[in-house]
Chains A and B, each alone.
Chain A
Amino acid sequence: MATGEKELTLELREIGIAEATGPSGEIVIALSPSFGAQQRETIVGLSHAIVVRELAAGVEEEGFTPRFVKFFNSSDLSSFAHAAAKLSGSGISIGIQSKGTTVIHQRDLQQLDNLEIFPQAPLYSASVYRQIGKNAARYGKGEVPEPVPTLNDQMALAKYQIKAALLHIKETELVVGKKPPVEVQLIIEEVTRL
């Protein structure tokens, strides 16, 4: 990024152990161990600040409230997203890994099942994350929305799989066995690059 351009920074402020006592109008958005910490953008360089802002905006557009929870005990998407759904007042969660892989999960499903999954991280732009936020909230209301349109690029794997593996290894290195999930407050600031 060139000097003088604006960029968003994201800080995650821990505000205590995440409880399962939220209101029915909330969606828990679960962040992986390295999200916004050691890694700060998705596999294609989309800032984590934009990702969380869009997910939250999508949820809010449907009149729901996002609650951000950081997970430390697993980097496995199904695992922590399902745990997050159990914390969520609506029973619905969004889980996201640092590289951008995302899922909409529900408390009553099997861990390896999901409502919608977005497995091809290189394809997802800000607008896709906003649609994911919206759909999660609509499931929260008990609706059955049309799924976010599926994107598929058969060449994504050829180009990105090795990078995805190495990013995931870095993420998994930050896993702390029994550390409980923590509720976080997002501080997003626009800074001008010097």
Chain B
Amino acid sequence: MKRSKRFEVLEKRPVNLDGYSEEWPEVGLIAMDSPYDPKPSLRIVDGVIVEMDGKPAMEFDSIDQFIADYGINLAEAETAMAMDSRDIARMLVDIQVPREVIIPLTTAVTPAKLAQIMSHLNVVEIMMAQMKMRVRNRPANQAHVTNLDDNPVLMAADAAEAMLRGFAEIETTPAVSRYAPFNALALLVGGLCSQKRVLSQCSLEESSELKMGMQGLTTYAETVSVYGTEAVMTDGDDTPWSKGFLAAVYASRGIKMRFTSGTGSELLMGNTEKKSMLYLESRCLYLTRGCGVQGTQNGSVSCIGIPGAVPGGFRAIAAENLMASLLDLEVASGNDQTFTHSNMRRMAKLFMQMVPGTDFISSGFSAVPNYDDMFAGSNTDCDDYDDWYVLQRDMRVDGGILPVGEAEVIQVRSLAARALQAVFAYFELPEISDAEVEAATYAYSSYDMPRRLMADDMKAAEHFIKEHTGLDVAKALWEKGYPDVADNLLAMLKERITGDYLQTAAIFDAEGKLEGALNAPNCYQGPETGYRIAPERWAKMVQRKNILGPKDF
């Protein structure tokens, strides 16, 4: 066939480099509404669930059993299950029905019913409902802070810059797991060089992640994964009860935590029991709630290439974020993984959470160039900062971060690198040279950093985690002449003891004050209600360098 020149051009467009797939319900490759999904049902006898979603209690697997025992608000269950799911869907988008009327109902239905409610909503309705149902009044954002070489000096500087830009949480992960204690240390020290409090975490094998939290090197945890099928849960060496136990351990040590799950994960792990991605995610969220955990990171997260490849994928992903809010969970809503070559696709996906606002719009905006992002790259990276700021300005939408000046960025990066240098010297860890401090202060990425001897760092990191806690780090900072940073760290450790930041959706503001479901709940009820950008914040959000004004004419 003689080729059409137009078709030849289209074939080369970025969108055509992405992977796509047909629906294939037999292996669970379908976003939502699979013919194999169960029909909602619930029977309660003497306060005990004897049938759920078409399955009698005798046939429950461990996930069903856990949800039946702990996941559903039984007091309202019969009322809520008797309602037409379309009527509940309509309540979600009706501004006359406030959030506090909806939560008792949506926490009292079954996983299949919650997924069914979603199937009545189109994407605009999902966004409308998300705006109303988000737990915290003010939306926020989270950053990834990592680099290819696990360079701790650069990581501390990047953490300081990310916190300065206003990310409410910063998250790292090592390229090589033995480096993890230094990664955690870099975020803790770096973050506290630009803000009074820091929520920082290091994603890792679960017992190591917990250990670092208990020792005060991290202050929240997020990568505690749950799955919607028993086989995948077991592959991860887990049961719902072991996850619940882990959640309780974090709470007992005053560490904020959320679970993570998302559409496509069971398929990626090879076992879906032929169920749709959204139904399986619904089970994960009930499990999360049943464990008493305050929130979730979902929205397909690192599996987005799976739902993103099938029809209706973005809609299902937006729906899973909404389901989390309907279960009264804090939601860190994905947008943290590259999944497309197309700028139009990545923005369209992002807008479904950015425009309505979620508790954390991205659960990992890459604060470094994507090639340094050890979560395999995010949907937005540090090259997108100015685009993000302009979009906030264009739409008067709060995407959770603020423009910053070059001089103040250089200043906090320098402080963070020097503070970490001092901490390394105090504990006699492999030396951080002045040249490294200088490079980290002005760096764009790990390519700008002198190489470190990674084997020596890893040996020292393993030793460090055996000997020292966050309190020792505060002492080191104090003795080495960084009293302000030491004070911030001590105050952050005290937060662990009061435990107020374990409340649902809690974050710290620039003054170190808490904001969350308890003292700043979402109060949206139509135009002129809910979160509004304060005039002082708006004045910062509209700032740009290349901007014309009366002064120019």
Please report A residues at the B interface, Cβ cutoff 8 Å: 74-76, 79, 110-117, 119-120, 144-147, 150, 152-166, 168-169, 171-172
Contact = CB atoms under 8 A, between A and B. Distances in A.
B152 interface: no
Contact of A154 (B264, B303, B371, B455): B371
Contacts of A114: 177
Contacts of A150: 148-149, 175-176, 374
B249 interface: no
B309 interface: yes
Nearest to B455: A144
B373 interface: yes
Interface string B253-273: 000000000001001111100
Contacts of A171: 270
A161 B305 contact: yes
B18 A158 contact: yes
A76 B266 CA distance: 12
Nearest to A113: B205
B338 A158 contact: yes
Contacts of A119: 376
A162 B31 CA distance: 13
Contacts of A74: 235
A144 B458 contact: yes
B454 A157 contact: no
Given A76-B269, A147-B454, A157-B339, 8 more contacts: A74-B235, A79-B237, A117-B177, A119-B376, A144-B455, A147-B176, A159-B18, A165-B29
Identify the 5 closest CB pairs spanning chains A and B, nearest first.
A154-B377, A161-B305, A172-B270, A113-B205, A154-B370
A157 B304 CA distance: 9
A60 to B, nearest CB: 23
A147 B175 contact: yes
A159 B148 contact: no
Given A155-B338, A157-B305, A168 B207 contact: no
Taking residues whose C-beta sits less than 8 angstroms from the other chain, chain B's interface range is: 35 or more
B205 A110 contact: yes
B340 interface: yes
Contacts of B79: none
A155 B459 CA distance: 33
Given A161-B19, A168-B269, A169-B27, A146 B455 contact: yes
A125 B19 CA distance: 22
Nearest to A75: B270
B426 to A, nearest CB: 24
Nearest to B337: A157
Interface string B11-23: 0000001111100
Contact of A159 (B19, B29, B374, B378): B19
Give the interface centre of A110, A117, A168, A169 by most chain B CB atoms within 10 Å: A169
Interface of B: 17-21, 27, 29, 148-149, 175-178, 204-208, 235-237, 264, 267-271, 302-306, 309, 337-341, 370-374, 376-378, 453-455, 458-459
B341 A158 contact: yes
Contact of A163 (B19, B376, B454): B19
A152 B374 contact: yes
Nearest to B458: A144
B338 A157 contact: yes
B270 A162 contact: no
Nearest to A82: B237
Contact of B17 (A153, A159, A163): A159
Given A112-B205, A119-B376, A164 B268 contact: yes
Contact of B19 (A79, A147, A160): A160
B247 to A, nearest CB: 17
A163 to B, nearest CB: 6
Contacts of A111: 237
Contacts of A154: 338, 370-371, 373, 376-378
Contacts of A120: 376
A193 B127 CA distance: 57
Contacts of A163: 19
20 contacts: A76-B235, A76-B269, A110-B205, A113-B177, A119-B376, A146-B455, A147-B176, A147-B454, A150-B176, A152-B374, A154-B370, A154-B377, A157-B302, A157-B304, A159-B17, A162-B19, A165-B29, A165-B267, A166-B27, A169-B270
